[in-house]
């Protein structure tokens, strides 16, 4: 009895130790140890009893093998177990057949359950992914409804595509179709310039654990995200007359999944050279047949292949983005029509009222000088009476172009009405304002206008009045405008084609 008790204690201890260490290994090694351990216990118990009496326990070993390695594992274990039994009790073909039949049955059942489990996991993963996508679309729809500004919409779209709580791609770019030329212009992008930079950004975002809406709000008021990437994107134009993958995506209205870069394709070669793209997907932005642009996505950091399911997840967002972008463009066009002069394209009188009041208030608050230039075409009634109003309109258009090219970057030019124009010069003193006024006058005098030789002086000229808050205090923007208008009147009285500065002491 004592030897059996000792053997039992040894087997129990062996089982405890083996079960403790097997979890330290990989899943496959873990399962192999479990099968070997079970088979070893069968052998140990056969020493306590007889192999004939414990041979049925091999069915338990086969069951474990089927659970661990399914049909193939069960059949191999059945054969190995039968060999061990044969070595102890002799040749038993019936036992082998029993083991194999049991292994086949249990293995098939295990395979069936494995297949069902995998299918359930796949459906569960699909449902979770679709649920996440629906949450993304719902959140993005709410945020998109809050703005009609194109740059903000593009930010929202790109953050949604790249955020971990969004669709989770490493990088995204938007190219919009030019209304004037058959080409795509780079507009905006979000993501790293290279994999190392992307990994640092990924760690930072992971540590912040920001939700999608929080991430959008955090970047919502920023002037630029990823400035180096955006500067490069904005410098790129892709000709749609040249056959390339982006042209095909737009023309056919279907996404293209580029798994290997084709250097013979100009657009693909460009993405490889500028952005180190090894693979990418191009999703067309279309709305009711209108070609809006193309969304480019890639995984430069983790090099995760972009699957067809991934592209399918982006398409609804791309369709939503196309609608939002087109609405923003239409809104911008309507806004431009309301704020710009229909003939010359300059800002109109309504725009001037808004801008001038804002700049006047800012100038008083920050104690910065604000100057205004008013100019009027000399003897323009004579020109219209002599040449007709159609040619007069051509002159107004040409003069407006000269005006825009003559002013500085922060200056604003307006058509105030008829042949009168105004230039608003923020943070500008009277000396600089006079210099700008003189440059405008000279450029117009030197320009060649149609039939200008019929003017009283043989050329088309303007008179210019200048006023500034630098040396004179004005209570309202209206007072400043009136002062510039008085200076213009003096310029006209002084023989026209000159620049006059308003001075309060001169009692103009």
- For residues 369 and 437, state if they share a domain: yes
The length of the chain in residues reads 508
Examine residue 124 and state whether it is found in any structural domain, yes or no: no
Kindly tell me if the per-residue pLDDT of 336 is higher than 80: no
User: The CATH number of the domain where 488 resides is what?
Assistant: 3.30.70.270
| pLDDT at res. 1 | 47
- For residues 374 and 422, state if they share a domain: yes
Rounded to the nearest 10°, the torsion over CA 271, 274, 275, 280 is 0
Give the pLDDT mean for 179-193: 88
Q: pTM of this prediction?
A: 0.54
- For residues 328 and 353, state if they share a domain: no
Q: How many domains does the chain have?
A: 3
Kindly tell me if the per-residue pLDDT of 451 is higher than 80: yes
The crossing angle, in degrees rounded to 10, of helices 380-387 and 389-406 is: 140
Which position has the token pair 């038993």? 92
Q: Going by DSSP bridges, is the β-strand pair 499-501/462-468 parallel, antiparallel, or unpaired?
A: parallel
- How far apart, in whole angstroms, are the C-alpha atoms of residue 192 and residue 173? 11
Please compute Rg for the chain using Cα positions: 40
Give the pLDDT mean for 476-499: 94
Are 432 and 341 spatial neighbours (Cβ–Cβ below 8 Å)? no
- Domain range enclosing 156: 149-336
Per DSSP, 161 falls in state H
Examine residue 392 and state whether it is found in any structural domain, yes or no: yes
The tens digit of pLDDT for each residue in 87-133 reads: 666 666 776 777 777 778 877 777 788 788 888 888 877 677 666 66
Are 142 and 212 spatial neighbours (Cβ–Cβ below 8 Å)? no
**If we measure between CA atoms, which residue out of 416, 418, 417 comes closest to residue 389?**
418
- How far apart, in whole angstroms, are the C-alpha atoms of residue 177 and residue 166? 26
- For residues 7 and 83, state if they share a domain: yes
- For residues 315 and 363, state if they share a domain: no
């Amino acid at each position: 009895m004592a030897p059996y008790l000792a053997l039992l204690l040894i087997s129990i201890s062996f089982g405890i130790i083996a079960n403790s260490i097997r979890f330290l290994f990989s899943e496959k090694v873990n399962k192999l140890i479990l099968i070997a351990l079970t088979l070893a216990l069968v052998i140990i118990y056969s020493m306590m009893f007889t192999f004939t009496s414990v041979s049925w326990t091999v069915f338990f070993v086969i069951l474990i093998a089927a659970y661990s390695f399914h049909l193939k594992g069960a059949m191999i274990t059945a054969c190995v177990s039968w060999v061990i039994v044969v070595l102890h009790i002799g040749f038993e073909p019936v036992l082998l057949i029993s083991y194999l039949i049991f292994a086949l049955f249990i293995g098939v059942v295990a395979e069936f359950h494995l297949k069902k489990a995998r299918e359930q996991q796949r459906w569960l993963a699909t449902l979770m992914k679709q649920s996440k996508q629906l949450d993304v679309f719902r959140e993005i729809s709410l945020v998109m409804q809050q703005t009609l500004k194109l740059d903000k919409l593009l930010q929202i779209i790109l953050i949604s595509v790249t955020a971990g709580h969004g669709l989770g791609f490493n990088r995204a770019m938007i190219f919009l179709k030019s209304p004037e030329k058959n080409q795509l212009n780079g507009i905006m992008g979000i993501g790293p310039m290279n994999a190392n930079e992307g990994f640092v950004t990924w760690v930072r975002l992971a540590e912040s654990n920001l939700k999608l809406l929080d991430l959008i709000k955090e970047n919502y008021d920023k002037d630029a995200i990823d400035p180096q990437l955006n500067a490069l994107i904005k410098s790129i134009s892709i000709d749609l007359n040249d056959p390339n993958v982006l042209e095909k995506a737009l023309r056919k209205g279907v996404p293209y999944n580029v798994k290997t870069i084709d250097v013979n394709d100009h657009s693909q070669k460009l993405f490889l050279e500028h952005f180190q793209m090894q693979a990418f997907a191009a999703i067309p932005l279309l709305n009711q047949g209108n070609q809006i642009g193309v969304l480019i996505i890639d995984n430069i950091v983790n090099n995760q292949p972009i699957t067809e399911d991934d592209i399918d997840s982006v398409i609804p967002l791309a369709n939503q983005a196309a609608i939002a972008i087109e609405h923003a463009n239409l809104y911008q066009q309507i806004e431009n029509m309301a704020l710009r002069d229909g003939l010359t394209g300059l800002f109109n009188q309504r725009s001037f009222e808004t801008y001038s009041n804002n700049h006047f208030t800012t100038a008083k608050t920050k104690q910065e000088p604000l100057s205004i230039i008013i100019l009027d075409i000399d003897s323009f009634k004579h020109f219209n009476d002599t040449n007709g109003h159609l040619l007069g309109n051509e002159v107004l258009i040409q003069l407006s172009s000269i005006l825009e090219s003559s002013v500085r970057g922060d200056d604003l030019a307006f058509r105030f009405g008829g042949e009168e124009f105004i230039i608003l010069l923020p943070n500008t003193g009277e000396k600089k304002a006079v210099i700008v006024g003189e440059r405008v006058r000279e450029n117009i005098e030197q320009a060649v206008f149609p039939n200008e030789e019929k003017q009283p002086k043989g050329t088309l000229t303007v008179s210019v009045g200048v006023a500034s808050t630098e040396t004179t205090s004005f209570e309202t923007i209206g007072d400043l405008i009136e002062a510039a208008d008085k200076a213009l009147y003096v310029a006209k009285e002084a023989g026209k084609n000159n620049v006059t500065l308003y001075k309060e002491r001169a009692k103009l």
